[in-house]
Structure 1
Amino acid sequence: MDYTSLFSDRPDTARLWIYIAQHDVSADTQRVVHDALASFFGAWDSHGRPVSADMAWREDRFLFVTAHVETEDASISGCATDALVHAVDEATQNLAWAPALSVSYRDAEGSVAVTDRTTFARLARAHTVDSTTSVFDPSLSTLADLHNGAFEQPAGTTWHARAFPLAHPA
Protein backbone atom coordinates (compact mmCIF):
# COMPACT_ATOMS: atom_id res chain seq x y z
CA MET A 1 0.00 0.00 0.00
CA ASP A 2 1.18 3.50 -0.76
CA TYR A 3 1.22 5.70 2.34
CA THR A 4 3.20 8.52 0.72
CA SER A 5 0.10 10.45 -0.36
CA LEU A 6 -1.76 10.16 2.95
CA PHE A 7 -2.58 13.66 4.27
CA SER A 8 -1.06 15.22 1.14
CA ASP A 9 -2.92 18.46 1.90
CA ARG A 10 -0.99 18.90 5.15
CA PRO A 11 2.52 20.32 5.58
CA ASP A 12 5.38 17.83 5.79
CA THR A 13 6.33 19.43 9.12
CA ALA A 14 3.05 18.28 10.70
CA ARG A 15 3.38 15.91 13.65
CA LEU A 16 2.38 12.31 13.15
CA TRP A 17 1.24 9.62 15.56
CA ILE A 18 0.74 6.04 14.41
CA TYR A 19 -1.22 3.49 16.39
CA ILE A 20 -1.24 -0.18 15.39
CA ALA A 21 -4.14 -2.35 16.47
CA GLN A 22 -3.34 -5.85 17.68
CA HIS A 23 -6.18 -7.20 15.49
CA ASP A 24 -8.27 -5.90 12.60
CA VAL A 25 -10.66 -3.10 13.55
CA SER A 26 -14.20 -3.27 12.16
CA ALA A 27 -15.57 -0.49 9.97
CA ASP A 28 -18.17 0.31 12.66
CA THR A 29 -15.49 0.72 15.32
CA GLN A 30 -13.39 2.83 12.95
CA ARG A 31 -16.38 5.16 12.45
CA VAL A 32 -16.96 5.47 16.20
CA VAL A 33 -13.29 6.33 16.76
CA HIS A 34 -13.33 8.77 13.84
CA ASP A 35 -16.39 10.57 15.20
CA ALA A 36 -14.96 10.80 18.72
CA LEU A 37 -11.62 12.14 17.50
CA ALA A 38 -13.26 14.56 15.07
CA SER A 39 -15.15 16.02 18.03
CA PHE A 40 -11.90 16.33 20.00
CA PHE A 41 -10.08 17.89 17.02
CA GLY A 42 -12.73 20.62 16.81
CA ALA A 43 -11.73 21.93 20.23
CA TRP A 44 -8.04 20.94 20.38
CA ASP A 45 -5.54 23.69 21.05
CA SER A 46 -1.91 24.09 22.01
CA HIS A 47 -1.36 26.95 24.47
CA GLY A 48 -4.42 28.72 23.10
CA ARG A 49 -3.49 28.20 19.45
CA PRO A 50 -5.89 26.03 17.45
CA VAL A 51 -4.48 22.71 16.31
CA SER A 52 -5.38 21.61 12.79
CA ALA A 53 -5.71 17.84 12.89
CA ASP A 54 -6.90 14.89 10.87
CA MET A 55 -6.92 11.12 11.17
CA ALA A 56 -7.21 8.12 8.89
CA TRP A 57 -7.50 4.38 9.21
CA ARG A 58 -5.61 2.13 6.81
CA GLU A 59 -5.74 -1.62 6.34
CA ASP A 60 -8.10 -2.00 9.33
CA ARG A 61 -5.03 -1.86 11.59
CA PHE A 62 -3.32 1.51 11.40
CA LEU A 63 -4.67 4.68 12.96
CA PHE A 64 -2.77 7.72 11.69
CA VAL A 65 -3.22 11.08 13.41
CA THR A 66 -1.59 14.22 12.09
CA ALA A 67 -1.62 17.72 13.51
CA HIS A 68 0.00 21.10 13.17
CA VAL A 69 -0.35 24.64 14.47
CA GLU A 70 -0.45 27.29 11.77
CA THR A 71 2.00 29.76 13.31
CA GLU A 72 5.72 30.41 12.95
CA ASP A 73 6.42 28.23 15.99
CA ALA A 74 4.46 25.24 14.73
CA SER A 75 5.29 22.97 17.65
CA ILE A 76 2.54 21.21 19.54
CA SER A 77 2.99 21.47 23.29
CA GLY A 78 3.44 18.52 25.59
CA CYS A 79 0.10 19.32 27.23
CA ALA A 80 -1.63 19.24 23.84
CA THR A 81 0.08 15.94 23.03
CA ASP A 82 -1.09 14.53 26.37
CA ALA A 83 -4.63 15.69 25.54
CA LEU A 84 -4.44 13.78 22.24
CA VAL A 85 -3.21 10.63 23.98
CA HIS A 86 -6.13 10.83 26.42
CA ALA A 87 -8.61 11.45 23.57
CA VAL A 88 -7.29 8.44 21.63
CA ASP A 89 -7.36 6.29 24.78
CA GLU A 90 -10.95 7.29 25.47
CA ALA A 91 -12.08 6.82 21.86
CA THR A 92 -10.40 3.42 21.58
CA GLN A 93 -10.92 1.96 25.04
CA ASN A 94 -12.25 -1.29 23.57
CA LEU A 95 -9.28 -1.78 21.24
CA ALA A 96 -6.05 -3.62 21.94
CA TRP A 97 -3.03 -1.76 20.59
CA ALA A 98 0.12 -3.60 19.58
CA PRO A 99 2.71 -3.49 22.37
CA ALA A 100 5.48 -0.93 21.86
CA LEU A 101 8.18 -3.55 21.26
CA SER A 102 6.18 -5.67 18.84
CA VAL A 103 7.00 -6.15 15.17
CA SER A 104 4.40 -5.33 12.55
CA TYR A 105 4.93 -6.84 9.13
CA ARG A 106 3.16 -7.99 5.99
CA ASP A 107 2.70 -11.78 5.97
CA ALA A 108 2.97 -14.06 2.92
CA GLU A 109 -0.68 -13.38 2.03
CA GLY A 110 -0.10 -9.60 2.15
CA SER A 111 -2.03 -9.05 5.38
CA VAL A 112 -0.73 -7.01 8.28
CA ALA A 113 0.49 -9.17 11.16
CA VAL A 114 1.73 -8.18 14.60
CA THR A 115 3.93 -10.36 16.77
CA ASP A 116 6.49 -10.12 19.54
CA ARG A 117 10.21 -9.97 18.74
CA THR A 118 10.89 -13.54 19.87
CA THR A 119 8.29 -14.91 17.48
CA PHE A 120 9.55 -12.69 14.64
CA ALA A 121 13.08 -14.05 15.21
CA ARG A 122 11.67 -17.59 15.06
CA LEU A 123 9.89 -16.72 11.78
CA ALA A 124 13.18 -15.36 10.41
CA ARG A 125 15.10 -18.52 11.35
CA ALA A 126 12.39 -20.58 9.61
CA HIS A 127 12.63 -18.29 6.53
CA THR A 128 8.92 -17.46 6.89
CA VAL A 129 10.02 -13.81 6.88
CA ASP A 130 13.16 -12.61 5.13
CA SER A 131 14.94 -9.44 4.03
CA THR A 132 12.18 -8.71 1.49
CA THR A 133 9.34 -8.91 4.04
CA SER A 134 7.67 -5.52 4.47
CA VAL A 135 7.86 -4.16 8.01
CA PHE A 136 6.17 -1.09 9.47
CA ASP A 137 7.73 1.70 11.52
CA PRO A 138 5.23 3.30 13.92
CA SER A 139 7.90 5.58 15.40
CA LEU A 140 7.68 8.13 12.57
CA SER A 141 6.99 11.57 14.00
CA THR A 142 6.41 13.82 10.99
CA LEU A 143 4.47 13.64 7.77
CA ALA A 144 7.76 14.13 5.90
CA ASP A 145 8.86 10.70 7.16
CA LEU A 146 5.59 9.16 5.99
CA HIS A 147 5.69 10.97 2.64
CA ASN A 148 9.28 9.82 2.09
CA GLY A 149 8.19 6.18 2.31
CA ALA A 150 9.65 5.36 5.71
CA PHE A 151 6.53 3.67 7.13
CA GLU A 152 6.59 0.44 5.10
CA GLN A 153 9.97 -0.86 3.97
CA PRO A 154 11.70 -4.17 3.25
CA ALA A 155 13.06 -5.59 6.52
CA GLY A 156 16.52 -5.86 4.98
CA THR A 157 16.78 -2.06 4.79
CA THR A 158 15.73 -1.40 8.40
CA TRP A 159 16.93 -2.11 11.93
CA HIS A 160 15.26 -5.53 11.56
CA ALA A 161 18.22 -6.65 9.44
CA ARG A 162 20.57 -6.09 12.39
CA ALA A 163 18.25 -7.56 15.01
CA PHE A 164 17.00 -10.72 13.29
CA PRO A 165 18.58 -13.52 11.21
CA LEU A 166 16.92 -12.46 7.93
CA ALA A 167 17.72 -14.54 4.87
CA HIS A 168 18.29 -12.90 1.50
CA PRO A 169 16.19 -14.76 -1.08
CA ALA A 170 17.93 -15.77 -4.29
Structure 2
Amino acid sequence: MKRIWIYQADRVLSGDEGQQIAAELTTFAEQWKVHGKPLSASAELRDNLFIILKVDEDIAAASGCSVDSSVRFLKGIEEKYHVQLFDRMQFAYKSANGVAVVNRSGFEKLLANGEIDDNTLVFDNTITYDYQLDSAWVIPFKESWHKRLFA
Protein backbone atom coordinates (compact mmCIF):
# COMPACT_ATOMS: atom_id res chain seq x y z
CA MET A 1 0.00 0.00 0.00
CA LYS A 2 1.29 3.45 -0.85
CA ARG A 3 1.46 5.98 1.96
CA ILE A 4 1.12 9.59 0.84
CA TRP A 5 1.77 13.05 2.17
CA ILE A 6 0.11 16.03 0.52
CA TYR A 7 1.54 19.53 0.81
CA GLN A 8 -0.43 22.42 -0.61
CA ALA A 9 1.13 25.68 -1.67
CA ASP A 10 -0.40 28.96 -0.56
CA ARG A 11 -0.61 30.06 -4.19
CA VAL A 12 -0.78 28.46 -7.61
CA LEU A 13 2.74 28.14 -8.94
CA SER A 14 3.70 29.54 -12.33
CA GLY A 15 4.30 27.13 -15.19
CA ASP A 16 8.07 27.62 -14.96
CA GLU A 17 8.05 27.10 -11.19
CA GLY A 18 5.93 24.00 -11.63
CA GLN A 19 8.33 22.48 -14.16
CA GLN A 20 11.35 23.20 -11.97
CA ILE A 21 9.70 21.85 -8.83
CA ALA A 22 8.47 18.73 -10.64
CA ALA A 23 12.05 17.99 -11.71
CA GLU A 24 13.32 18.55 -8.15
CA LEU A 25 10.60 16.25 -6.80
CA THR A 26 11.63 13.48 -9.18
CA THR A 27 15.25 13.79 -8.11
CA PHE A 28 14.31 13.82 -4.43
CA ALA A 29 12.09 10.73 -4.73
CA GLU A 30 14.83 8.82 -6.55
CA GLN A 31 17.30 9.60 -3.75
CA TRP A 32 14.92 9.35 -0.76
CA LYS A 33 16.17 6.76 1.72
CA VAL A 34 15.24 5.08 4.97
CA HIS A 35 18.16 4.04 7.18
CA GLY A 36 20.49 4.37 4.19
CA LYS A 37 18.37 2.18 1.92
CA PRO A 38 16.37 3.58 -1.02
CA LEU A 39 12.62 3.91 -0.57
CA SER A 40 10.25 2.87 -3.31
CA ALA A 41 9.07 6.46 -3.62
CA SER A 42 7.62 8.87 -6.12
CA ALA A 43 6.63 12.51 -6.01
CA GLU A 44 4.44 14.68 -8.17
CA LEU A 45 3.08 18.16 -8.49
CA ARG A 46 -0.64 18.44 -9.29
CA ASP A 47 -2.45 21.53 -10.47
CA ASN A 48 0.74 23.56 -9.81
CA LEU A 49 -0.50 23.60 -6.21
CA PHE A 50 -0.20 20.18 -4.54
CA ILE A 51 3.00 18.26 -3.85
CA ILE A 52 2.27 14.58 -3.30
CA LEU A 53 4.95 12.29 -1.90
CA LYS A 54 4.32 8.53 -2.11
CA VAL A 55 6.09 5.58 -0.52
CA ASP A 56 5.27 1.93 -1.20
CA GLU A 57 5.09 0.59 2.36
CA ASP A 58 4.99 -3.01 1.12
CA ILE A 59 8.65 -2.55 0.22
CA ALA A 60 9.80 -0.24 3.02
CA ALA A 61 8.03 2.31 5.20
CA ALA A 62 9.30 5.82 5.72
CA SER A 63 10.58 6.35 9.25
CA GLY A 64 11.11 9.44 11.36
CA CYS A 65 14.47 10.24 9.79
CA SER A 66 13.24 9.80 6.22
CA VAL A 67 10.15 11.92 6.92
CA ASP A 68 12.43 14.56 8.45
CA SER A 69 14.51 14.56 5.27
CA SER A 70 11.37 15.16 3.19
CA VAL A 71 10.42 18.08 5.43
CA ARG A 72 13.91 19.58 5.02
CA PHE A 73 13.62 19.17 1.25
CA LEU A 74 10.20 20.86 1.21
CA LYS A 75 11.43 23.69 3.44
CA GLY A 76 14.10 24.26 0.77
CA ILE A 77 11.37 24.43 -1.88
CA GLU A 78 9.54 27.00 0.24
CA GLU A 79 12.62 29.17 0.55
CA LYS A 80 13.68 28.88 -3.08
CA TYR A 81 10.24 29.62 -4.56
CA HIS A 82 8.86 31.93 -1.84
CA VAL A 83 5.87 29.72 -1.19
CA GLN A 84 4.32 28.25 1.97
CA LEU A 85 3.74 24.48 2.04
CA PHE A 86 3.07 23.88 5.74
CA ASP A 87 0.24 26.35 6.41
CA ARG A 88 -2.78 24.09 6.99
CA MET A 89 -5.07 27.12 7.11
CA GLN A 90 -4.86 27.52 3.33
CA PHE A 91 -7.91 25.97 1.70
CA ALA A 92 -8.13 24.68 -1.85
CA TYR A 93 -11.44 24.26 -3.62
CA LYS A 94 -12.81 23.88 -7.13
CA SER A 95 -14.14 27.10 -8.56
CA ALA A 96 -15.58 27.98 -11.95
CA ASN A 97 -12.03 28.91 -13.02
CA GLY A 98 -10.36 25.70 -11.82
CA VAL A 99 -8.62 25.04 -8.53
CA ALA A 100 -8.40 28.04 -6.21
CA VAL A 101 -6.67 28.56 -2.88
CA VAL A 102 -7.52 31.03 -0.13
CA ASN A 103 -6.58 31.56 3.50
CA ARG A 104 -9.01 30.95 6.36
CA SER A 105 -10.47 34.46 6.44
CA GLY A 106 -10.88 34.43 2.65
CA PHE A 107 -12.67 31.08 2.88
CA GLU A 108 -14.99 32.46 5.57
CA LYS A 109 -15.84 35.45 3.35
CA LEU A 110 -16.57 33.17 0.40
CA LEU A 111 -18.88 31.11 2.62
CA ALA A 112 -20.66 34.21 3.91
CA ASN A 113 -21.10 35.52 0.35
CA GLY A 114 -22.46 32.19 -0.84
CA GLU A 115 -19.60 31.68 -3.31
CA ILE A 116 -18.78 28.47 -1.43
CA ASP A 117 -21.64 26.25 -0.29
CA ASP A 118 -22.18 22.72 0.98
CA ASN A 119 -21.69 21.28 -2.51
CA THR A 120 -18.46 23.11 -3.33
CA LEU A 121 -15.68 20.57 -3.86
CA VAL A 122 -12.79 21.01 -1.42
CA PHE A 123 -9.47 19.20 -1.11
CA ASP A 124 -8.85 17.10 1.99
CA ASN A 125 -5.07 17.02 2.23
CA THR A 126 -5.22 14.89 5.39
CA ILE A 127 -5.71 11.64 3.47
CA THR A 128 -2.87 9.20 3.97
CA TYR A 129 -3.06 6.54 1.26
CA ASP A 130 -2.78 6.60 -2.52
CA TYR A 131 -6.10 4.83 -3.10
CA GLN A 132 -7.90 7.70 -1.34
CA LEU A 133 -6.85 10.20 -4.02
CA ASP A 134 -9.72 9.10 -6.27
CA SER A 135 -12.43 8.79 -3.62
CA ALA A 136 -11.65 10.96 -0.59
CA TRP A 137 -9.35 13.78 -1.65
CA VAL A 138 -11.85 15.98 -3.47
CA ILE A 139 -15.15 15.97 -1.60
CA PRO A 140 -18.15 18.23 -1.06
CA PHE A 141 -17.64 20.88 1.62
CA LYS A 142 -20.53 19.40 3.66
CA GLU A 143 -18.60 16.09 4.01
CA SER A 144 -15.23 17.61 4.84
CA TRP A 145 -13.35 18.46 8.00
CA HIS A 146 -13.56 22.06 6.77
CA LYS A 147 -17.29 22.08 7.57
CA ARG A 148 -16.62 21.38 11.26
CA LEU A 149 -14.10 24.20 11.35
CA PHE A 150 -16.57 26.74 9.97
CA ALA A 151 -19.74 25.42 11.67
TM-score by length of 2: 0.84
Q: Over residues 73-114 of structure 1, what are the superposed CA-to-partner deviations in whole Å (9 max), with x where a residue is unaligned?
A: x3211100111111222244214125212222122x242222
**Structure 1 residues 114 and 105 mapped into 2: Cα distance closer, same or farther (>3 Å)?**
same
Rounded Cα–Cα distance in structure 1 between residues aligned with 2:57 and 2:8: 25
Pair 1:134-2:124 in alignment: no
Number of residues paired by the alignment?
Answer: 149
Look up the match of 1:157: 143
Rounded Cα–Cα distance in structure 1 between residues aligned with 2:17 and 2:103: 25
Look up the match of 1:19: 7
Look up the match of 2:62: 76
| Bigger fraction of residues in helix | 2
**Structure 1 residues 122 and 26 mapped into 2: Cα distance closer, same or farther (>3 Å)?**
closer
Offset, 1:25 = 1.4
Letter in 1 for 2:38: P
Look up the match of 2:38: 50
Offset, 1:69 = 4.7
Consecutive unaligned residues in structure 2, runs of 5 or more: none
Look up the match of 1:87: 73
% identical aligned pairs: 28
| Bigger fraction of residues in strand | 2
Q: Over residues 16-45 of structure 1, what are the superposed CA-to-partner deviations in whole Å (9 max), with x where a residue is unaligned?
A: 121212222123222222222322323221
Letter in 2 for 1:20: Q
* Superposed CA RMSD: 2.1
Consecutive unaligned residues in structure 1, runs of 5 or more: 1-12, 166-170
Look up the match of 1:145: 132
Rounded Cα–Cα distance in structure 1 between residues aligned with 2:46 and 2:25: 16
Look up the match of 1:10: none
**Structure 1 residues 34 and 125 mapped into 2: Cα distance closer, same or farther (>3 Å)?**
closer
* Greater gyration radius: 1
Rounded Cα–Cα distance in structure 2 between residues aligned with 1:70 and 1:42: 17
